[in-house]
């Protein structure tokens, strides 16, 4: 295993409203960069994005199929109807 840095992607799927998703994104942003006013560059370069998985125009797959276990969990816990 190399000790050289490289690009890594950490994925997080959440079943939430847009507002809740924005709040989670903001929390992750603060976690990665607790001092947004620091002089650049960040010690660890990073980026974060928010994708509406049900919206193909937003980069999603159109129906949220990327996280079937998450959708099933939300249906079970919230007694949502199956589509």
Domain locations in the chain? 18-78
Give the residue carrying structure tokens 């560059």.
41
Q: Check if the beta carbon of residue 17 is closer than 8 Å to that of residue 30.
A: no
C-alpha span between 72 and 6 (Å, rounded): 34
Output Rg (C-alpha) for the chain, integer angstroms.
16
Residue 23 is predicted with a pLDDT of 96
Per-residue model confidence as pLDDT tens for the chain (83 residues): 678 888 888 888 888 899 999 999 999 999 988 888 888 888 888 888 888 877 756 655 555 567 778 878 888 887 666 55
Helices (H) and strands (E) in the chain, counts: 2, 0
């Amino acid at each position: 295993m190399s000790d050289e840095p490289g690009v890594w992607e950490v994925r997080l799927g959440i079943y939430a409203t847009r507002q809740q998703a924005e709040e989670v994104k903001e929390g992750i942003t603060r976690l990665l960069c607790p001092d947004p006013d620091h002089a650049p560059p960040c010690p660890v370069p990073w980026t974060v994005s928010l994708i509406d998985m049900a919206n193909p125009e937003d980069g999603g797959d159109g129906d949220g199929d990327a996280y079937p276990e998450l959708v099933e969990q939300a249906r079970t816990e919230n007694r949502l109807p199956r589509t």
